Amino acid sequence: MPNKILGMIKEIFSDVNHEKISGIQEYLDLLLKYHQIKNLIPSSNKEYILKREIYDSYQLIKHLKGDSYTDVGSGGGLPGVILSIIKPEKKVILLDRKQAFINFLELTKKHLKLQNTKISENDFFDKEFNASTDVIIFKNFSNKKISKMNFEEKFIHLLNTCKNSSQVSRVYMLTGTPVLNLSKTSLNMYNINIKKIISPYFDTHRYIVEIKL
């Protein structure tokens, strides 16, 4: 991996030990390699993925509470794989319904020896689905069942679906500015905390949303 990219990884994860830095390097290599075949992430530009996707994912991870997590719609593993590497003592479930993503996540788990991680091929909206973790995480989650809803409708629908899993006590979302326009009705329905991610790389900001169910 070029020295510039390694330097960026060390900059983003400045408080992380060498062993975990190495794991993140290996994951990034795998992710970009298989992205060329399976279109796993928004861009093939390493710097962009590090500065936007991985930096923001790490900011989310630093705010997480709980002991076990389900990363819904994990896709290429952001933020779930980073979470697994950073917090090996925590239980992490990477959930997706698409076989291409599941295959990549299984390969990543094996390659990185992520003993704390389970790969789950499931549809979050299946009536039989029941999350077995304290926390559910959404990062830019999309699904055809909610694609025609506006942001607030999606937000409430996701939370109502989370409530079907009795063990879940918190939900975290990594999302954009529409969360700032939630109505008072929605804000009063849940205990919601919104924190802006201050990025050193971009002028546009994402937000971490914590919801206590």
Q: What is the pLDDT of residues 167-195, one digit of tens each?
A: 999 999 999 999 999 999 999 999 999 99
What is the residue-wise DSSP string for the chain?
Answer: --HHHHHHHHHHTTTS-HHHHHHHHHHHHHHHHHHHHH--SS-S-HHHIIIIIIHHHHHHHHH--SSEEEEET-TTTTTHHHHHHH-TTSEEEEEES-HHHHHHHHHHHHHHT-TTEEEEE--TT-TT----SSEEEEES---TTTTTS-HHHHHHHHHHHHTTSTT--EEEEEE-GGGGG--HHHHHHSEEEEEE---SS-SS--EEEEEE-
pLDDT band for position 2 (50/70/90)? low
> What's the pLDDT tens digit per position in 107-116?
999 999 999 9
Q: Count of domains in the chain?
A: 1
149: domain CATH number is 3.40.50.150
Which residues form the domain of 120?
3-212
Give the position of tokens 């399976």.
Answer: 38
The pLDDT value recorded for residue 1 is 54
pLDDT band for position 71 (50/70/90)? very high
Predicted TM-score (pTM) of this structure: 0.95
The pLDDT value recorded for residue 144 is 86
pLDDT band for position 50 (50/70/90)? very high
